[in-house]
Amino acid sequence: MKNIKFYDLPKNNSTYAKKFIKDFKAINSSGKYLIGNFVRKFEINFSQYCQSKFTVGVGNCLDAIKLSFMSLKIRGYLKDGDEVLVPANTYIASILGIIGANLKPVLVEPDENTFNLDSKNIEKKITKKTKAILVVDLYGHPSDLFGIKKISKKYNLKVVHDAAQSLGASIGKKKVGSFFDATCFSFFPGKNLGAFGDGGAITTNDKITYKILLSLRNYGEEPFDNLTNRKYINNYKGVNSRLDELQAAILLNKLKDFHLNQKKRHQIAKHYLENINNPKIILPYIAKNFNHSSHLFVIKCKDRNKLRGYLLKNKIETMIHYPKPAYKQPAFKEYNLKKFPITDKIYSEILSIPIFPTLKNTEIKHITKILNKF
């Protein structure tokens, strides 16, 4: 058996090479490289997929989070220094998005099973300074979105949803992307819907928020359909975070096949769940009526480092999402002394095994066999 990669982007993306070259020529001929027809078409199609009214394509998911909070400040819902609850075990980008909007992140312990925010823990952390929640769907399992929505109404809190890893997930028939004030997505190459570089998007059902976001992504300038009606009037202190035409063209093509890739991911996850049988390994938990995006397949093991070395010896690549929590990073010295026992336990045990759509059946079975022998 050859080395089994954690994911094989070149193999997956080679399918789109010919179409990409054709689209590149069309874009080059048009002379429109930013916020053109491909971006607009992708935004429309992405909204339809996510069951949302509007989509705004941006440079990446960190910007999506930052711009979402900036829009809520412009609308008067938030102000500088307001506190935002966020999972303690999330990736650093979620926290940076809050700080980038000049708000204060307050770390909350997650649920040990789903890795997401626990409704009970949220309520314990709410104070008079709490004005918003950043919900993060880690690894692809949707958070308790309906429960969090009830809490947000009870305490009059705004909610931004970081769905960087949960595109394609749903609760019942309601898809991620249509629950809250704004939902943020990532099109980083390794995501379920990955670009050939960085990219992100924000979905919303609020027309006013949508128009503000359109402006914020382009230096705070009044939105325009083409250069002939561009006014060069900047109503807000915005940023430069625009999804470019090339990435939009790639994402448009991949969105057409998204359901097929998701089907393959779900098949791999199903095989693992039904066939990995080792008392040393804890399989992912999926709540009833929740549909996982299968972005990552994260197992837990008390001897995680030993297991990882064992898998590597058997030519199976793995990853740890993530090796060190944000509150232990040098960049966040103000959090270094705080204690988050649940998060620490999660970080010491988690291991992501391959679930990429290009995996062969023989590789999936081999991974399962090796895990069962550990």
Q: Which whole-number Å values give the CA distances from 359 to 11, 277, 349, 353, in the listed order?
A: 10, 20, 24, 12
User: Is the same domain home to 240 and 295?
Assistant: no
Helix 361-373 × helix 304-313 angle, to 10°:
130
User: Is the same domain home to 341 and 324?
Assistant: yes
Q: What is the CA radius of gyration of the chain?
A: 21
Q: Is residue 4 part of a domain?
A: no
Q: Is residue 358 part of a domain?
A: yes
The count of structural domains within the chain is 2
- Residue 125 banded pLDDT, cuts 50, 70, 90: very high
First to last CA, the chain: 18
Render the burial of 160-191: b for 16+ CB within 10 Å, e for the rest: bbbbbbbbbbbbeeebbbbbbbbbbbbbbbeb
User: Is the same domain home to 263 and 248?
Assistant: no
User: Is the same domain home to 197 and 75?
Assistant: yes
Candidate from 65-74, 168-177, 221-230 with smallest mean pLDDT: 221-230
C-alpha 362: how far from chain center: 29
CATH number, residue 136? 3.40.640.10
* Tens digits of residue pLDDT in 295-308: 999 999 999 999 99
Non-local (6+) Cβ contacts of 260 within 8 A are none
User: Is the same domain home to 15 and 63?
Assistant: yes
User: Is the same domain home to 75 and 205?
Assistant: yes
Q: What is the mean pLDDT of residues 111-115?
A: 95
Two tokens, residue 239: 């940023």
User: 201, 230, 252 — which closes off a domain?
Assistant: 252
Q: What is the pLDDT of residue 335?
A: 81
User: Is the same domain home to 214 and 349?
Assistant: no
Q: What is the residue range of 155's domain?
A: 11-252
* Tens digits of residue pLDDT in 257-283: 999 999 999 999 999 999 999 999 999
Q: Is residue 286 part of a domain?
A: yes
User: Is the same domain home to 248 and 271?
Assistant: no
Render the burial of 237-251: b for 16+ CB within 10 Å, e for the rest: ebbebbbbbbbbbbb
Q: To the nearest whole percent, how much of the chain has pLDDT over 90?
A: 92
User: Is the same domain home to 124 and 264?
Assistant: no
User: 252, 276, 294 — which closes off a domain?
Assistant: 252
User: Is the same domain home to 248 and 262?
Assistant: no
CATH number, residue 293? 3.90.1150.10
